[in-house]
């Protein structure tokens, strides 16, 4: 079913585990991979990246917490807190395709890691981004071929 070699598959899975927006575009644009191969590879990478960075992020956050004095709010910190308060778990998870899998996942782990639905929402978001970007890329590719 998959028209891809093992090394290529592993490389593309790792790439989509970090940046799920560009991997499907590159796979479709290369013309070597079918629609379903692209969906399977990028979904697997997105889910793998989500799971790894969710648990790794929780450990990193736990390790970094110490008795250091609190930092002042920067523009970036304000934006993150405003986004968290305004859009919640789903809002931060939805940014996964735009910002990156690790950043969105670590933010969700930090602010919503205690919620049982956090990881399923992230997995669903990764698969959704994979389907959406692959479908749009494939439609555009078919127009120009």
Task: Enumerate residue ranges in the chain where pLDDT < 70.
Answer: 1-3, 66-71
18 secondary structure, DSSP code: T
- Give the chain's domain count: 1
| 123 alpha-carbon distance from chain centroid | 8
Domain assignment present for 21: yes
Domain assignment present for 120: yes
Give the domain extent around 30: 6-144
Domain assignment present for 69: yes
Each residue's pLDDT tens digit, 22-54: 999 999 988 889 999 999 999 999 999 999 999
Is residue 33 within 8 A of residue 41, CB to CB? The reply is yes
Domain assignment present for 44: yes
State residue 11's pLDDT score.
Answer: 92
One DSSP character per residue, 25-88 reads HHHHHHT-S-HHHHHHHHHHHHHHHHHHHHHHHHHHHHHH-SSPPPPPP-HHHHHHHHHHHHHH
Read off the pTM.
0.85
Domain assignment present for 1: no
State residue 39's pLDDT score.
Answer: 94
State residue 3's pLDDT score.
Answer: 65
């Amino acid at each position: 079913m998959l028209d891809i070699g093992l090394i290529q598959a592993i490389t593309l899975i790792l790439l989509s585990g970090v940046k799920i927006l560009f991997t499907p575009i590159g796979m479709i644009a290369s013309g070597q991979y079918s629609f379903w191969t692209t969906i399977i590879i990028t979904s697997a990478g997105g889910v793998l990246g989500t799971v790894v960075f969710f648990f790794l992020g929780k450990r990193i956050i736990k390790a970094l917490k110490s008795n250091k004095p609190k930092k002042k709010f920067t523009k970036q910190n304000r934006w993150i807190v405003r986004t968290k308060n305004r859009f919640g778990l789903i809002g931060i998870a939805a940014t996964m395709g735009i910002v990156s899998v690790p950043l969105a996942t670590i933010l969700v782990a930090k602010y919503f890691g205690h919620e049982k639905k956090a990881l399923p929402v992230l997995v669903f978001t990764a698969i959704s981004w994979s389907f959406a970007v692959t479908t749009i890329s494939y439609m555009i590719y078919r127009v120009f071929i």
